[in-house]
Structure 1
């Protein structure tokens, strides 16, 4: 298989004709396939159906005797906090358990800082002339949506195979208006990148001009392996404290892609000082989380090994889908020089880079053929990819046969877009 741009005109014309015929055949199938969001499949949700009968009519007290039916307990119950502290490798006193979505806590943290300032802020962020936020790209669209909502200036940072370009970050945080940074450290969205230990330590030790600079450490895929190997979860709270920045990290996690996505438990880990600041405001916002749901999760999971056992089931469901995507990309596109893709060992996404300038066209072609992809550029702030090259693939939700059919179609669209671009040159 030769590089597309190196084909003779005769060979290129033959390929172009074949690809166009494949595309017409694809449209004739009248497909309705969806690779847009990283949702668990019905099979994955079934793994935790025992939750629907828990904690049970007569099981409403924690191990220490707390009645979960009543108000209070802003930190969440010890039963689930102890399990998750072991999963993340952090002290239980540094961990709060909340309701279903860690995105809600992230939004709250930025809201609180915006309205009142953090425990290290000289003033509320709303009183700053501007607030700047670092956004490693490709990254998570919902992260960017939060900072966009508050009108922050979002500054992109290139992603490397070891995490964000720390040298670039070190220069950018010399600006006192840079108040924060998004990070997904394990099996990142959408690249699947795992931050190296060196990257983590350099981020923890950043000499930031803003005393209230925060890193939102969204460890959403802390145990989401696609293999038998679970990643290390470095205790960034201790790492940052050892480097003189004890309040550096706002650390997030949840069970949303572990048990039932709409009714999970979220977690916020940080320094005691940060947690006290959060409590001082959150305790006014509400009177405590859903402790019945937290008890149900503690009973279902049992301990950290119970979490890992459940995640092995998830890996068994997800891994064949990821293998199908990568296999089709290799078979259909390998050698043509029209695409590159990540091959993650965990998480929920594959990042596909196509010929620069053609990602939107690939998305359009796929849509017209009945294959819904996340819109090109969604992994960048404001939905704008300067190179128009990146597409996020999410193979988790559909059945395996639909994943394979969709990806074969996507490969045809990538080739057709590349052919069209060469014809215009």
Structure 2
């Protein structure tokens, strides 16, 4: 197909009629499809059903003899910390195991920092005139929601294909009011990109204006590969130690998309000083986590090799869904100039850059055709995508057949929105 921008006006009008007719036929099928959020599908959750029978035989005791049914051990069972420490890139003694939500740990760390400061803080962050965070965008809407909830200014920076634009990051970090930065270093949400060794090194070594600057390192997709290649990212904790910024990074992760999304484990890893700080703050909130669930996970997954085997089973279920989306986008949009999109090698999303000014229209068209998409702008701070172009597609939860159907409709919506925008641009030019 030719570039939409190069088509003669009569050909553009004919194409608009043709695409509209195809979309009308799709709408007539009366489908109700949801591509809004990156949730595991039921068959993915079924992979972990054996957890529900654990711990079995009345054995509720840890390797150290702790009764996991009782209070205590806020840091988490030693064997649970040891199991996930290699994935987090930290020694077990610098790992904390929480309950099911890493987002809750991130939220709490922001709140604790605002109320009390972090190690190295001259004062609580809330006592600063106007604390700010660097926010790579497109990014994760729930990260942005936490900051917006507490009035922390958000400073968007573009992604480069190898992580955030580091020239922009370093310039912003020099401001003492900038207290931190969100990072999703592997298979970023939603762009799928992987932070390069150079990016990690620069994040660790850069000069920050605030003495208590923190990287909120959300390693949500560390083992969530879509190909046989298991990409690795440089160890940020080790890089910070080498750069003499050993307290710079808070690492977060969870098993939410490894085992049971609502009944997994969350993790916090950092320097010894930061771990002590977190446990001191959290001790006022909880007497201890769900250690029975920690035992379940240790006995179910067993070791890091077991985690990778389990994730290979996930990949077999979801990789065909990602391939179906890419195939539909390629078939309908390649060569049109209507959009460009990622082909991620891991994670949970496909990021589409539609024609500028059309993302909201695509979401509107898709809704009318029975396909629910993430709201336009959601991947930017304050819900404000300056180009109105980014779309986040989440293919994991629907069935493969539903993903195939939805992808056809989405591609037609993107194409029609681009044609409409080009038609309006020409009419405005002619006026």
1:308 corresponds to which residue?
308
| Rounded Cα–Cα distance in structure 1 between residues aligned with 2:111 and 2:309 | 36
| Rounded Cα–Cα distance in structure 1 between residues aligned with 2:342 and 2:63 | 44
2:146 corresponds to which residue?
146
1:82 corresponds to which residue?
82
Matched residue SS, 1:163: coil
| Rounded Cα–Cα distance in structure 1 between residues aligned with 2:322 and 2:271 | 37
| Change over 3 Å in CA distance of 1:81–1:237 after alignment to 2 | same
Segments of structure 2 that go 5 or more residues without pairing to the other structure are 426-431
2:391 corresponds to which residue?
391
Matched residue SS, 2:223: coil
The answer to whether the 8 Å contact 1:95/1:267 transfers is yes
The answer to whether the 8 Å contact 1:88/1:233 transfers is no
Q: Is 1:170 aligned with 2:151?
A: no
1:51 corresponds to which residue?
51
2:14 corresponds to which residue?
14
Which residues in structure 2 correspond to 1:325-344 (within 5 Å)? 325-344=325-344
Matched residue SS, 1:164: coil
Matched residue SS, 1:139: coil
| Rounded Cα–Cα distance in structure 1 between residues aligned with 2:413 and 2:85 | 45
2:203 corresponds to which residue?
203
| Rounded Cα–Cα distance in structure 2 between residues aligned with 1:13 and 1:424 | 11
Matched residue SS, 2:224: coil
The answer to whether the 8 Å contact 2:88/2:269 transfers is no
The answer to whether the 8 Å contact 1:95/1:270 transfers is yes
Q: Is 1:222 aligned with 2:217?
A: no
| Rounded Cα–Cα distance in structure 1 between residues aligned with 2:420 and 2:86 | 53
Q: Is 1:408 aligned with 2:408?
A: yes
> What are the Cα deviations for residues 200-251 of structure 1, in whole angstroms up to 9, with x where unaligned?
0100111001001000000000000001122224321121011010011000
> What are the Cα deviations for residues 91-130 of structure 1, in whole angstroms up to 9, with x where unaligned?
1111111100000100110100101111111011111111
Which residues in structure 2 correspond to 1:6-405 (within 5 Å)? 6-405=6-405
The answer to whether the 8 Å contact 1:136/1:156 transfers is yes
1:418 corresponds to which residue?
418
| Rounded Cα–Cα distance in structure 1 between residues aligned with 2:234 and 2:416 | 44
Matched residue SS, 1:167: helix
| Rounded Cα–Cα distance in structure 2 between residues aligned with 1:116 and 1:135 | 23
Offset of residue 57 of structure 1: 4.8
> What are the Cα deviations for residues 65-95 of structure 1, in whole angstroms up to 9, with x where unaligned?
1110110001100111111012233211111
Segments of structure 1 that go 5 or more residues without pairing to the other structure are none
RMSD (CA atoms) = 0.9
> What are the Cα deviations for residues 260-295 of structure 1, in whole angstroms up to 9, with x where unaligned?
000000000000000111111111111110000010
Number of aligned residue pairs: give it: 425
| Rounded Cα–Cα distance in structure 1 between residues aligned with 2:159 and 2:233 | 20
Matched residue SS, 1:285: coil
> What are the Cα deviations for residues 44-74 of structure 1, in whole angstroms up to 9, with x where unaligned?
0000000110112512011121110110001
Matched residue SS, 2:158: strand
2:429 corresponds to which residue?
none
| Change over 3 Å in CA distance of 1:329–1:23 after alignment to 2 | same
The answer to whether the 8 Å contact 1:189/1:348 transfers is yes
| Rounded Cα–Cα distance in structure 2 between residues aligned with 1:86 and 1:92 | 8
| Rounded Cα–Cα distance in structure 2 between residues aligned with 1:264 and 1:234 | 26
Matched residue SS, 2:283: helix
Normalising to structure 1: TM-score of the pair?
0.99
Q: Runs of 4+ in structure 1 displaced over 3 angstroms?
A: none
> What are the Cα deviations for residues 131-153 of structure 1, in whole angstroms up to 9, with x where unaligned?
01100000000000001111011
The answer to whether the 8 Å contact 1:89/1:234 transfers is no
The answer to whether the 8 Å contact 1:89/1:233 transfers is no
> What are the Cα deviations for residues 171-208 of structure 1, in whole angstroms up to 9, with x where unaligned?
11111000000000000000000000100010011100
| Rounded Cα–Cα distance in structure 1 between residues aligned with 2:138 and 2:339 | 16
